Each structure stands twice: as C-alpha cells, then as structure tokens.
C-alpha cells in the first residue's frame, strides 16, 4: 500500500474513533516528555531507520507530541511516520496541535483502544517486521502497546494449503427456540459438514428446520451459566474439530469454502475470527473501542482437557497446538439489525444475571464505518493465516 493510501485509511478510521466518547474517559497518567531525551531518541531512531532503508517508521505512543515532532524534523519527506496510540483521550488532546505543524513531514495517527484493530489495520496496509522500524516512546509506557509490539514482531503469515481430504468438521450451537431467523441460520450451513449439533435452551422445537448437513439435537436449560452450557454443547460433537456459532452469526460462502484449507494447517489448535457487528443496517460495521475486530476463538481442536470456563464471557481453557487468526474470514454478526431493542435488552439481562452485576448496557448508536472499508482490508489477507504468539491473554468467546 502506498503512503497516501495508508494515510487516508488510517485517518478515516481514527477520525471516527475520536468522534465518539464511550463512557467517561480519563487521560491516562504518563510522565511529561523531556525535550532533550526526545531529541536523543529521535536521532537514534532516524539513524537506524535510514540505515535499514525501510519505508515505514512506527512510533508507539503519542505522548505529549514532543518525540513525534522531533522525529518529523529529522525524517526525510519520502519516509512515513505512523503514530500508534491506544488512549483516545490523549489523542484528542495532543493530535490537533501536532497535525499540520510538522513541516514537510505529514505524520499519520492511528488511534484505538483495541490492539487487535491496530494490528489488523497495520498488517492490511502491508506493514510487517521486515519493512518497518519501531520506535517506542519512553513517555508512553503503555502495556497495551507492548502487547501490540509482540503481536506485530512475532506473528507470521502462512499460506493456506488444501489438504488431500477435508477433515470432518462439526458445527455446534446453543439456541433458544424463539431466536429469529433460525431457518436462515440452518440454511446457510454447507452440505459437506459432518454434522450440525444443536443444544436447545428448553424443549426441542416441534417445527422442522431445513439443514443440508446431518442435524443432531439435544436440550438442556441454560441455568445462567454459559460455560457449562458450552461444555455440554461441545460434548455433542463427534469430530476432532468443532466450529461453534451463535444464532445471529453467519459465515459468507467464501469463508465456508476456505474452512477445509484452514483445518489442513499443521499443528493447529484453534482459530480466531474477526467478528463484524452490523450497525444501523447491513452496510455499516461497528468499530472502535474493541467493537471491531471483536476477536472470537470459535474453531477448536478437541482434546481431553479442552473446556469453557466462566458463567459469562466464558474463556477457552486447555487448548493444545498453535493459535491462528483467519483475518479474511469475518464472522458476520446480525444481532443489532435482526433484533429490536426490546429483544436486545432482554438478552443483556440474561448476561447481567449470569455475571451477577449490571455489566452490559445498550446504547442508542455506536461508531461505525461502511462495510466496504473492512472488505477492502479482508482482501489484503486473502488465502493466508496469521500464526500468533502465545499471549498472556487471548480473546475467548
């Protein structure tokens, strides 16, 4: 991707993030930048960057803008400075005084609280450890940016290679009989699946659903514990590999076609999918503050120790093997366009009861960008898996 194209994409994303305040954000405490130290760091970073002949210089942390300005003063105009920031409030306060005041150099700000969003945006622009120089801002000791740095430096792309014979795959789901669009949910499953295993919260519905793959059904009351319910769901599956979906989630046809290729990856234990939640209509996707990519660990290789832990927002424990990210296979989430506000609030009440506290609230609207924005990014990862480092915490369900 060209510098100008990256500048346009990053600026568009950041503008939408900074236009919204979710909750009551506070400026994270950080030591003020020392001008002399910033000058030394900038000189060293530019010297290393020039020797590497890499096109991109990434500054991790905006700070007070002192180091960013020092870098701009020293960088040649044909080299791009990309500034990553996870504190939206700091970006709102510092960036206006820096943008447009750096002479010939036009720095680019990419800001979001989600390191996964920053990671995918940067990688989709063609940036990697081979063509980027990283400079950490001493005045921005962000733990999140340190996690981002590890993701960026230790992840690697691998081409998806088809296996000789597709491995058997079970699709598993926990459903309530009153979920909307169940016919469409079952109808979007491909016929090559080994089985579709459904655990109903309550009695199995009397009406038949058209499913092109073999259908197995059982019933078990949720009982306010999603982890235990998912373990019962997992026990229904008779194959080594299990993909679990919610009733308001879909894969597009291309993603279904790619799944057998994903299963062929060696030593794989689980796969994350970026979830895109539609906002307002099916042509716009929520983003910013963790709303995108909303990573979901949904494809799992079963073993004796694998299980779900937690009453709500349950995590996967006991996974064996490598963890991968299928960046070009978004999990399409229709909950906020297929359900009315009353249904959504009832669902959040279920989550709150399971959590034992009011942790989930429904807002009237959320930051969003056109679906085409994300489709263009998905295309950058076509046919490749991102193999991830093992982090202290990874996204669960």
CATH topology for the 169-387 domain: Spore Coat Polysaccharide Biosynthesis Protein SpsA; Chain A (3.90.550)
Neighbouring C-beta atoms of residue 336, cutoff 10 Å? 19
For residue 379, what pLDDT is reported?
Answer: 92
- pLDDT at residue 335 is higher than 70: yes
% of the chain at pLDDT higher than 90: 72
| Residue extent(s) of CATH 3.90.550 domains in the chain | 169-387
- pLDDT at residue 343 is higher than 70: no
CA 118, 370, 181 angle in degrees (round to 5)? 105
Looking at the chain, list the stretches that DSSP marks H as alpha helix, in order from N- to C-terminal side.
3-18, 35-52, 66-74, 88-98, 115-124, 143-154, 182-187, 226-236, 253-263, 335-338, 341-355, 371-379
Output the CA torsion sign for 244, 250, 253, 254: negative
- pLDDT at residue 76 is higher than 90: no
Contact by Cβ (8 Å): 8, 369: no
For residue 363, what pLDDT is reported?
Answer: 64
In the numeric block, the tokens 């949904």 are attached to: 298
Per-residue model confidence as pLDDT tens digits over 128-138: 999 999 999 99
Place 157 in a pLDDT band, splitting at 50, 70 and 90.
very high
Query: Which residues are 214's β-sheet partners?
Result: none
Output the CA torsion sign for 230, 263, 383, 394: positive
- 91: region left, alpha or beta (phi > 0 left; psi from -120 to 50 alpha): alpha
Among 147-151, 227-231, 358-362, which is the least confidently predicted range? 358-362
Place 376 in a pLDDT band, splitting at 50, 70 and 90.
very high
Q: 375: Cβ–Cβ under 8 A, 6 or more apart, which residues?
A: none
Neighbouring C-beta atoms of residue 283, cutoff 10 Å? 12
Average pLDDT score, the chain = 89
For residue 397, what pLDDT is reported?
Answer: 47
For residue 188, what pLDDT is reported?
Answer: 96
Instruction: Give the mean pLDDT of 383-391.
Output: 87
For residue 323, what pLDDT is reported?
Answer: 96
Among 46-60, 104-118, 134-148, 339-353, which is the least confidently predicted range? 339-353
Tokens representing 297 are: 């660990």
Separation of alpha carbons 32 and 376, rounded Å: 39
**Which helix (H) or strand (E) covers residue 196, if one does?**
strand 195-200
Per-residue model confidence as pLDDT tens digits over 251-301: 999 999 999 999 999 899 999 999 999 999 999 999 999 999 999 999 999
- pLDDT at residue 349 is higher than 60: no
For residue 351, what pLDDT is reported?
Answer: 46
Instruction: Give the mean pLDDT of 305-321.
Output: 93
For residue 59, what pLDDT is reported?
Answer: 97
| Strand pairing class (307-309; 315-317) | antiparallel
The CATH number that domain 3-154 falls under is 3.40.50
% of the chain at pLDDT higher than 70: 90
Query: Which residues are 217's β-sheet partners?
Result: 198
Instruction: Give the mean pLDDT of 336-361.
Output: 57
For residue 393, what pLDDT is reported?
Answer: 47
Q: How many CA atoms lie within 13 A of 94 on its CB side?
A: 25
Determine if the pTM surpasses 0.85: yes
Instruction: Give the mean pLDDT of 63-89.
Output: 92
For residue 383, what pLDDT is reported?
Answer: 87
| Residue extent(s) of CATH 3.40.50 domains in the chain | 3-154
Contact by Cβ (8 Å): 181, 156: no
- pLDDT at residue 29 is higher than 50: yes
């Amino acid at each position: 991707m060209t510098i100008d194209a990256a500048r346009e994409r990053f600026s568009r994303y950041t503008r939408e993030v900074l236009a919204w305040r979710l909750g009551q954000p506070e400026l994270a405490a950080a030591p003020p930048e020392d001008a002399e130290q910033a000058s030394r760091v900038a000189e060293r970073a530019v010297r290393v960057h020039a020797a590497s002949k890499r096109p991109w210089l990434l500054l991790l942390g905006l700070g007070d803008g002192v180091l960013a300005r020092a870098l701009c003063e020293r960088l040649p105009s044909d080299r791009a400075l990309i500034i990553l920031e996870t504190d939206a409030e700091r970006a709102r306060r510092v960036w206006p005084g820096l943008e447009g005041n750096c002479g010939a150099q036009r720095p680019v700000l990419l800001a979001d609280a989600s390191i996964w969003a920053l990671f995918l945006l940067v990688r989709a622009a063609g940036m990697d450890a081979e063509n980027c120089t990283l400079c950490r801002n001493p005045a921005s000791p962000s733990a999140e940016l340190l996690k981002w740095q590890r993701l960026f430096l230790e992840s690697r792309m691998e081409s998806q290679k088809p296996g000789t014979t597709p491995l058997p795959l079970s699709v598993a789901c926990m459903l309530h009989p009153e979920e909307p669009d169940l016919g469409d949910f079952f109808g979007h499953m491909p016929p090559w699946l080994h089985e579709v295993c459904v655990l109903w919260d309550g009695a199995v519905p009397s009406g038949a659903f058209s499913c092109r793959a073999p259908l197995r059904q059982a019933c078990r009351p949720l009982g306010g514990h999603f982890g235990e319910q998912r373990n019962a769901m997992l026990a229904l599956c008779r194959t080594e590999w299990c993909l679990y979906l919610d009733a308001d989630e879909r894969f597009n046809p291309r993603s279904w076609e790619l799944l057998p290729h994903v299963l062929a990856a060696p030593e794989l234990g689980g796969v994350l999918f970026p979830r895109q939640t539609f906002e307002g209509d099916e042509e716009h996707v929520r983003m910013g503050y963790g709303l995108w990519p909303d990573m979901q660990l949904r494809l799992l290789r079963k073993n004796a120790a694998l299980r779900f832990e937690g009453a709500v927002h349950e995590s996967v424990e006991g996974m064996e093997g490598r963890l991968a990210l299928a960046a070009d296979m978004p999990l399409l989430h229709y909950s906020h366009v297929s359900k009315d506000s009353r249904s959504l609030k009832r669902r959040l009440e279920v989550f709150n009861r399971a959590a034992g506290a009011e942790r989930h609230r429904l807002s009237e609207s959320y930051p969003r960008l056109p679906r085409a924005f994300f489709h263009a990014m998905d295309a950058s990862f076509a046919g490749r898996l991102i193999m991830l480092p093992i982090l202290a915490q990874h996204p669960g369900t």
